[in-house]
Amino acid sequence: MSAALSKPERPGNVILPGATLGVMGGGQLGRMFVHAAQAMGYHTVVLDPEAGGPAGQASDRQIVARYDDAQGLAELAKAASAITTEFENVPAQALTALAKLTRVAPTAVAVAIAQDRAAEKIHFQHHGVPIAPFAVIDSPEAVIAAAPTLFPGILKTARLGYDGKGQMPVSDAQSLPAAWEALGKVPCVLEKRVDLDCECSVILARGLDGKVVHLPVQRNIHRDGILATTMVFAGNLKPEVEHRALQAALRIAEATEYVGVLCVEFFVLRDGSVIANEMAPRPHNSGHYSIDACDVSQFELQVRTLAGLPLPTPRQHSPAVMLNVLGDLWFRHGTDTPCTPDWAAILDLPGVHLHLYGKRQARPGRKMGHITITAPTAQAALQTASRVAALLGLPLDSDGRIAARHPFLTAPSE
């Protein structure tokens, strides 16, 4: 083993810069974790089945192996003083095996809950976190027994669904058998549609000592099940909504003695109540703005929780709007040949921060990067974001704002 990947002595629970931190997964979240760790003086090692992915490109070292490969896991544990994960579908058994050899955060228990929508909803319920009415659909008998009050609803696969995948709207009980068959008759959750006002998310970090800090509550817009826009500035959400979401997220984290960065997504109903949708045991797309708009990003918080370092309360220094960059933008002219967006025109605008993930091939629906717009005022950030959207060819409302189910807020008067 090279000196760069050695395990230096550490006082107590703190892993000091100069050590190596490991990450399971080679995607963009792993890449941004690697960047944050390296900026703080750590070395990094990534385990991923595919060579040269976003995280592997940036890391000091990559181990190319399946997530359940015993030899690869042993090699990762030998190289790293502590290990985290960049996505929740890493096998929980792999995290359990790693935890016998080195520090792992978050734990396999927390990750396993997030991997199964049914277990997740039961976990929320058990700890007093409000959720939408639901039923587990895992057999023909469960299909027949689904309560009429759950319709219209959304049928979601219990495992592996994300970014709108593994979901089907179900208008009535007669539509449920066909929907379940279309999803492969795998275990599912039928969730009642709610009277939605908007969506928001809470990103918190909980340390080894139980201390919790959080980013500002984010307001999110989804399109076709994929996050399109995140907006974070004063007046973005009502104070009581922020408080309810924060308290619920804290209960969820405390319930599993969570260590690491946790995101909980919420639905805000028209009556002002807040219900949990799902959790992610890792940094989240809606927190990417923190790299450019906060003094401590969600990825630095991930490094700090893993290494046992102190957790300062993040401060947002600029109003921010984040736009997801999907592979669709490479095909906006209707051709089969990808055409790179005009990044120079985008970067000519003030306060624009472009983050591309190093993915070699653009595909519709694929997350290729994100753009964060920061400005001295919320109004200025919103205006620049709409200009960016127009240049990229994102859908716009008739008044020139970004189109979505929940349009951009009117920013508070300055």
What is the DSSP track for 226-282? EEEEEEESTTSS-HHHHHHHHHHHHHHHHHTT--EEEEEEEEEETTS-EEEEEEESS
Tokens of 50: 């595919």
> What amino acid occupies position 23?
V
Tell me if 193 is assigned to a ligand binding site: yes
Pairing of strands 61-64, 43-48: parallel
Question: Cα(4)–Cα(6) distance, rounded to whole angstroms?
Answer: 6
Tokens of 51: 């060579």
Tell me if 209 is assigned to a ligand binding site: no
Tell me if 163 is assigned to a ligand binding site: yes
Tell me if 117 is assigned to a ligand binding site: yes
Tell me if 270 is assigned to a ligand binding site: no
Tell me if 61 is assigned to a ligand binding site: no
Tell me if 166 is assigned to a ligand binding site: yes
Tell me if 199 is assigned to a ligand binding site: yes
Whether cis (ω within 30° of 0) applies to the bond prior to 148 is no
Tell me if 127 is assigned to a ligand binding site: no
Tokens of 28: 């963009």
Q: At what angle do helices 108-115 and 117-126 cross, to 10 degrees?
A: 110
Residue 106, class by beta-carbon neighbours within 10 Å (0-12 exposed, 13-18 middle, 19+ buried)? buried
Tell me if 172 is assigned to a ligand binding site: no
Tell me if 366 is assigned to a ligand binding site: no
Tokens of 390: 């127009």
End-to-end Cα separation, the chain, in angstroms:
57
Tokens of 342: 């005009």
Question: Cα(75)–Cα(103) distance, rounded to whole angstroms?
Answer: 14
Q: Comparing C-alpha atoms, which of 345, 406, 354, 352 is closest to residue 384?
A: 352
Report the chain's C-alpha Rg in angstroms: 21
Whether cis (ω within 30° of 0) applies to the bond prior to 152 is yes
Torsion of CA 63, 67, 68, 74, to 10 degrees: 30
Residue 354, class by beta-carbon neighbours within 10 Å (0-12 exposed, 13-18 middle, 19+ buried)? middle
Tell me if 369 is assigned to a ligand binding site: no
Question: Cα(207)–Cα(301) distance, rounded to whole angstroms?
Answer: 9
322 Cβ contact list (under 8 Å, min separation 6): 229, 230, 231, 232, 286, 288, 289, 370, 371, 372, 373
Tell me if 156 is assigned to a ligand binding site: yes
Beta strands in 281-319 (DSSP E): none
**Which residues participate in the annotated binding site?**
117, 156, 161-167, 191-194, 199, 222, 277-278
* Binding-site entries for ATP: 117, 156, 161-167, 191-194, 199, 222, 277-278
